[in-house]
Structure 1
């Protein structure tokens, strides 16, 4: 065969045209990089457990694990029984059941918030002061002795006028107590509830700046979650998305957006019988949150169910099926975190999460292996999909749904390799990890 024809390449634009355009867009480039840094690449817990400030104790996490194991032993004592309740495929029954038990024994809670808001209620100031100081001491001790959850912190009262001063004081008492006990733990998380205006987020930023200055901490050291529980937090009076303004008002400190199922539903007039995380009103709110957070590094967390798995076995099974279904629904919509309100929710939280990551593991791993080897297959994946596949496997590893050895064998990649793929393009607009 003859040599390939060499095409004549000609242009019409002067060289300085591109330079001028680049110069004109430089401010936009900088703005995009600032506003959309991409996913931080850190572990995201699969849930958040809320425990009232007066109930939280040194043994709370272990107690939740023991209660969850007792519920599993009583109402689904083996893999076959759990699979029958939840409708798990036969091939998933043993792996999911075994991993749920192991998780409840090893790390029953991934993220715990000591609650000083709705779950705690109004108390005498002296009583709340003591509870906040006690929470700081217990959390510091838990991190010191290795019994802490990966993430722990408090939910303070909101920035609305009637409770603002109390919320600020509780935050101060708690953070000061941690500093006096040795410093802020790496897993510290704070939750600001019932945010309605971006100015309330700005006020929270101001508080944290003052605390950091007082203690000589690195600026920006303390982040916080914004809880979306009111209609005003989703849609402003002028029709714009308030939640997007809140993310920017946090000036890089926002770590998450947590959906409040029942306060938000009530705010919209949804009757109590229909307040649930799969209500159309909830779907709308979370979709707005998700779009506003995309690319910013802020993660979206689903809400909870208030149907508790307690009582006779048939009632527990009904509650488990509901919780399992809602969790699976959220995962399919890329809400990788939710709230759990009772120890009995832990078996189905982990069953849903583990089944989600295991049921398509072989296909996911094979697609990623073909991508990295540049071989063919029945799906043509792009770099963005490879990032998503890597991120999916990393989340499965983080929570215990997958093991490092099986992922390495199926993909040919170490964890470092997965992290490298997941990070490709991080920091570019519209490119999540």
Structure 2
């Protein structure tokens, strides 16, 4: 089906979503969760086709890979979404004007949301569940690297929708070619909002070429600053977890910033990283502190490209600073405004860090790995917004709604 025709069908189908009850929506979501698990074998078989085309050394490989365990986790996230209150129809404010006119501000769905994403087939399930729960239709534009996985997942979801008598066009998967990308980016009148999920390059491309509103998500250049008052044991665990838990995701640590007075503790802070063969790109002072205390095969000299890089791999840079202010300056220069952390026992500096660091999620003595919609109690997420208009941080149900004004009266006219 040509893209324009598909967009027309999805727009038409989206208008009927307002008539679905919360009970209907929850029943569909629970059936999708069950169907995901029931069709695990078929989904994994298609996922293997995608994996076979990708180099296992590619940082995207882990994001592309599905397992039976991951599908169970995806299904649990869908069930979590079903259990959450509907974000649609909430009365945000209400007033009665002096002339008796009654005005309500009520949350509503956007309508049709377009998602452009790379090798992340889990996004297909996540986006559908969040969009349906928030009353939105969705148009998906995945990459060629995940086409077989995405097609299999959409087939499962369409089967559930047909079982419930719902127009399957509320979920559309576009071809994985550049022409489809160009069309969705310019689909004014058909798509209300575009959300890119992927590399910084993808996000920049979408932002520069879209003629419809865009919410930027995904790119995470995350820092942890180990302050002169930091607790070494806490720092060691935080650095290890935020770097190695899942290095291919956007909340993983990219740069450890350390106060020069604590260089003597750097080897201990990094002592667990060799377990996962983490390559450390250290500046001169940090390199000198680690030399002989960190495997030489994993220790490299940092250069300018070592900072401001989202590694998405078992790699990390180390920057030495002489003051709290210098640490803030470094973070401000290289941050993508995703997640930033300070490790310190000094409450005054904790407070300053919270106030002065410009990021969607600011941590004190906690791993940045927690920047996640489910971890924030939001159910699944559609992405991490790094901008400030409309939504910021983990985007879940509430962020997938807009609002409209409802005005009721008794025949009032304006003078």
Superposition TM-score, scaled by structure 1 size: 0.26
Higher helix share: 1
Superposition TM-score, scaled by structure 2 size: 0.27
Higher strand share: 2
